[in-house]
Amino acid sequence: MSALPLNGVVVLEFSQYLSGPSAALRLADLGARVIKIERPNTGDAGRKLAIKDLWVDDNSLLFHTINRNKESFTADLKNPEDISIIKKLIAKSDVLIHNFRPDVMGKNGLDYKTVQQINPRLIYAEISGYGKNGPWKNKPGQDLLLQSITGLAYTTGNGTNGPVPFGISIADILAGSQLVQGILGGLIRRSKTGKGALIEVSLMESLLDFQFELLTTYFANNEQPLRSKVANGQPLLSAPYGIYQTKDSYIALAMMDIHVLADTIHCGALKHFPKENAFALRDEIKTVLVEHLQTETTAYWLAALQEAGLWAMEVLNWDEMTDHPGYNALEMEQTIHAGGKTIVTTRCPIRINGQRLTADKAAPQLGEQNEKIRKELEVIS
């Protein structure tokens, strides 16, 4: 491949933690030059946020994971001299990302209206928690809290449970991903109009969009989705959709005709349920399956189900997955060298012209590119 899509594009990242930095990471993977603008002395609070006490250098492994392939420039946004340098930098950049609460950038004279004067071609992209209006606008934009107020915690786990959150930061990742879409759209628009744009995404709107099938159904029938009480897979889907225990482990069954399933696994009791009741009687049907599937191993059932062309798979943990040739065929891992240590992490999931997008540059030390960037500004300005 001759060139990455975003070669030559300069992105300023005023962001902390996950949503903003993950958006900028994707832009870097696609070829952009990403400069983190960080507070002097401390920087992105994510630098000191360690999971399981795993550190690479002064910075946590977590920070390195999200901020590889970026540069770092420190500036005190309360200091007029620093602001004037930042404005010079903005004048030379293509994209600005921030995930601060609504009024923070404005207080420092870095709101869209102001910086648009400096650079009318700038794509100014922001992630908020709950949008910029309404009673929640100043609430903490934190992933679990957004899952909790958007109904999402009632999609997962069985109906006999209380609300169950997703075990990964879904709002951060989706909002970051949609911000990237908006930024790329803005760049395409600019190539035609010559004009920059303001791109806005919020964690809340991202989680509502994520539930679009479920919300549209709810708007139509005014009935709240109910989780199956047994082996819930998705609140709107019929039996057998879900994960079941077997004699030795677990098995996942997707959508399938319950009578074909009955024949395939020799479960006469299943035949008593009319096919058209696979949603209405899903708890009863699944209860029969729970009992029946425990009588044989996962391998036994899989052989029969896959032979019949039914959609079923084993359920793997990370040890089992990473040992499997199906995982290794993807070559999803990449290696980064940072501070004398080796970090193994995942690569960008997008391939272009058959090429896997990897980027093995380590995350920057705080202010690592201060001098370089100051020189560039002198040279260019």
Give the residue numbers marked as catalytic. Answer: 172
Judged by CB under 8 A, the stretch of 75-83, 99-107, 142-150, 361-369 that binds a copy of itself is: 142-150
Smaller CB separation from a copy of itself, 177 or 370:
177
Distances (CA, A) of 213 to 93, 149, 236: 38, 18, 9
Residues touching a copy of itself, count (CB under 8 A): 140
Q: How far is the CB of 202 from a copy of itself (least distance, A)?
A: 7
Q: Which of residues 25-54 bind a copy of itself (CB under 8 A)?
A: 26, 30, 51-52, 54
Smaller CB separation from a copy of itself, 303 or 321:
321
The Cα 111–Cα 117 span in angstroms is 11
**Which of 131, 260, 287, 359 is in the footprint of a copy of itself by CB under 8 A?**
131
Q: How far is the CB of 360 from a copy of itself (least distance, A)?
A: 14
Q: Is 294 in the site for a copy of itself (CB under 8 A)?
A: no
**Which of 237, 267, 304, 377 is in the footprint of a copy of itself by CB under 8 A?**
237
Smaller CB separation from a copy of itself, 87 or 137:
137
The strand pairing partners of 124, in sequence order, are 96, 198
Smaller CB separation from a copy of itself, 40 or 54:
54
Q: How far is the CB of 151 from a copy of itself (least distance, A)?
A: 4
**Which of 328, 337, 371, 375 is in the footprint of a copy of itself by CB under 8 A?**
328
Smaller CB separation from a copy of itself, 334 or 370:
334
The Cα 81–Cα 98 span in angstroms is 21
Q: Is 315 in the site for a copy of itself (CB under 8 A)?
A: yes
Q: How far is the CB of 118 from a copy of itself (least distance, A)?
A: 17
**Which of 10, 83, 163, 263 is in the footprint of a copy of itself by CB under 8 A?**
163
Burial class (CB in 10 A: 0-12, 13-18, 19+), 164: middle
Three-state helix/strand/coil letters over the chain:
CCCCCCCCCEEEEECCCCHHHHHHHHHHHCCCEEEEEECCCCCCHHHHCCCCCCECCCCEHHHHHHHCCCEEEECCCCCHHHHHHHHHHHHCCCEEEECCCCCHHHHCCCCHHHHHHHCCCCEEEEEECCCCCCCCCCCCCCHHHHHHHCCHHHCCCCCCCCCCCCCCCHHHHHHHHHHHHHHHHHHHHHHHHCCCEEEEEEHHHHHHHHCHHHHHHHHHHCCCCCCCCCCCCCCCCCCCCEEEECCCCEEEECCCCHHHHHHHCCCHHHHCCCHHHCCCCHHHHHHHHHHHHCCCCHHHHHHHHHHCCCCEEECCCHHHHHCCHHHHCCCCEEEEEECCEEEEEECCCCEECCEECCCCCCCCCCCCCHHHHHHHHHHHC
Smaller CB separation from a copy of itself, 35 or 199:
199
| Per-residue contact string for residues 252-281; x = within reach of a copy of itself by CB under 8 A | xxxx-----------------------x--
**Which of 16, 150, 264, 369 is in the footprint of a copy of itself by CB under 8 A?**
150
Q: Is 330 in the site for a copy of itself (CB under 8 A)?
A: yes
The Cα 63–Cα 18 span in angstroms is 9
Judged by CB under 8 A, the stretch of 69-77, 258-266, 305-313, 363-371 that binds a copy of itself is: 305-313
Q: How far is the CB of 344 from a copy of itself (least distance, A)?
A: 4
Q: Which of residues 67-126 bind a copy of itself (CB under 8 A)?
A: none
Q: How far is the CB of 78 from a copy of itself (least distance, A)?
A: 21
Distances (CA, A) of 81 to 39, 55, 76, 85, 87: 14, 34, 9, 7, 10
Judged by CB under 8 A, the stretch of 34-42, 155-163, 359-367, 372-380 that binds a copy of itself is: 155-163
Q: Which of residues 166-225 bind a copy of itself (CB under 8 A)?
A: 166-170, 173-175, 177-182, 184-189, 191-193, 195, 197-202, 204-206, 208-221, 223-225
Smaller CB separation from a copy of itself, 216 or 381:
216
